Amino acid sequence: MPPRSAPSERQRRLGAELRKLRTRARLSGDDVAALLQADRSRVSHIEAGRVDVPRNGLYKLLHAYGCERGPLFEALMNMAHDRGKGWWDAYRDVMEQRALDLAELEARTTSVRIHEPSVIPGMLQTKEYARAVISNVAHDHEHLDRWVDFRLARQAVMSGLERYHAVIHESALRTRVGDAKTMRKQLLRLIEVARLPHVTVQIFPFEMGPYSSHMRSFVLFGGSTPELDTLYREHPTNADFIGDSNRIGEYVRMFERLASLALEPLDPAAPPEAQENQDSLSLLQHVLYELR
C-alpha cells in the first residue's frame, strides 16, 4: 500500500516511539532497513506513521531496540494492531480528525488531569450544557445533534479511569452557558461526579489572581506505561498531541502548582462544619444559590 498522507495521532505516536527506541539503541535507519529487508525510505515512513509495520516486523524491531516483553512492549504491540477502530469511527463523516484522534487517545488512557479556565470540561458536561457550548461555536448546525452525541459518548471512558482530576477556574462556573436551568443542572452534575472515588474536582477562585485564567486549557493523559503519557493542547483551528517527556514534565509541574493554589476539592460527603473555610464545594453552592 502507498504511504498514507494523513496518519492518525495513534499512528504518528507509534512511529515516534519507535524512532526514540531506535535512537537510544544507537541504530541507524540503514541498520533497521537491513533488519526488515526493506529500503531506507520504508523505515522513514514507519517512523512517521505513514505505513504500518507487520506484527513480526514490529517484534523484530522491539527486540533489536532492547524493548523486551513488558508494559511498553505490550502497549506498542497493541497500538500497532488495534487499527484505530472504535465507537468514534461511526462519526468519521461529521467530526474533524483531531476530535477522532482525541477520542481514540481517551479510549486507551488510564488517567486524566485537566486544567480548564473558561468552560466545564467535556467529560463532565451535561447534554444541555454541551449542546449550548457547541451551538455557540458551530458555524453550521446541520450536524449539531451528532456533535453533541459524540461529546457525550466520550464520557463513557470515565468509569474505566484510575484517576480523573480537574482544576476548573471560577469563571467557568459563572459564565452563563444556556439558561439558568442549564447552568444549575451542570453545576449539580459536578457535585454528582465528585462523589466518584477516583474523581477530584477543584475550583480555582478569582481571589487567587489571574494565574489560572490567563492559561490555556490543557490535558495530561496517562498512558498504559509512562512512556506513552500525552500532553494535549487545543487551539481554535488545530490541536497539539505532545509526547515529549520534558514538555510533559513542565505541564505536570504547572498542574501541580494550579492544584496547590486551588480550593480544596469538592467533597459532597463533608459535614457542614468542615466547610467553615471556603472550599470548592462551598463556592459552587454559592454560585448555585445565585442562579435560583
Q: Which residues lie below 8 Å from residue 255, measured CB to CB, with a gap of 6+?
A: 113, 115, 167, 218, 220
Q: Where are the beta strands (DSSP E) in the chain?
A: 111-116, 163-169, 199-204, 218-222, 230-234, 239-242
* pLDDT tens track for 179-205: 999 999 999 999 999 999 999 999 999
Return the C-alpha cell found at 14: 507509534
Residue 204: phi and psi, rounded to 5, are -95, 110
* pLDDT tens track for 230-260: 999 988 778 899 999 999 999 999 999 999 9
Q: What is the pLDDT of residue 213?
A: 57
Query: Residue 6: pLDDT band by 50, 70, 90 thresholds?
Result: confident
Q: What angle do CA 291, 289, 217 make, to 5 degrees?
A: 65
Residue 275 has pLDDT above 60, yes or no: no
- Report percent pLDDT > 90 for the chain: 74
Centre a 10 Å sphere on the Cβ of residue 191 and count the other Cβ atoms it contains.
Answer: 17
* pLDDT tens track for 152-179: 999 999 999 999 999 999 999 999 999 9
Residue 57 has pLDDT above 70, yes or no: yes
* pLDDT tens track for 103-113: 999 999 999 99
Q: Do the Cβ atoms of 212 and 257 come closer than 8 Å?
A: no
The 3-state DSSP class for residue 245 equals: helix
Return the C-alpha cell found at 158: 470515565
- Residue-averaged pLDDT of the chain: 91
Return the C-alpha cell found at 242: 505532545
Q: Which domains does the chain have, with CATH numbers?
A: 9-81 (1.10.260.40), 87-290 (3.30.870)
Residue 88 is given by DSSP the state: G
| Interval 28-43 mean pLDDT | 91
Task: Give CA–CA dist 278/54, Å, rounded.
Answer: 57
Q: Are strands 111-116 and 199-204 parallel, antiparallel or unpaired?
A: unpaired
Strand order in the sheet with 111-116: 199-204, 163-169, 111-116, 218-222, 230-234, 239-242
Q: What is the pLDDT of residue 270?
A: 66
Q: Scanning the structure block, which residue is given the C-alpha cell 481554535?
A: 236
What pTM value is reported for the model?
0.92
* pLDDT tens track for 11-22: 999 999 999 999
Query: Residue 1: pLDDT band by 50, 70, 90 thresholds?
Result: low
Query: Residue 208: pLDDT band by 50, 70, 90 thresholds?
Result: confident
Return the C-alpha cell found at 99: 476530535
Amino acid at 156: A
Q: What is the pLDDT of residue 259?
A: 96
The 3-state DSSP class for residue 46 equals: helix
- Between 272 and 258, whose confidence is greater? 258
* pLDDT tens track for 72-82: 999 999 998 87
Residue 272 has pLDDT above 70, yes or no: no
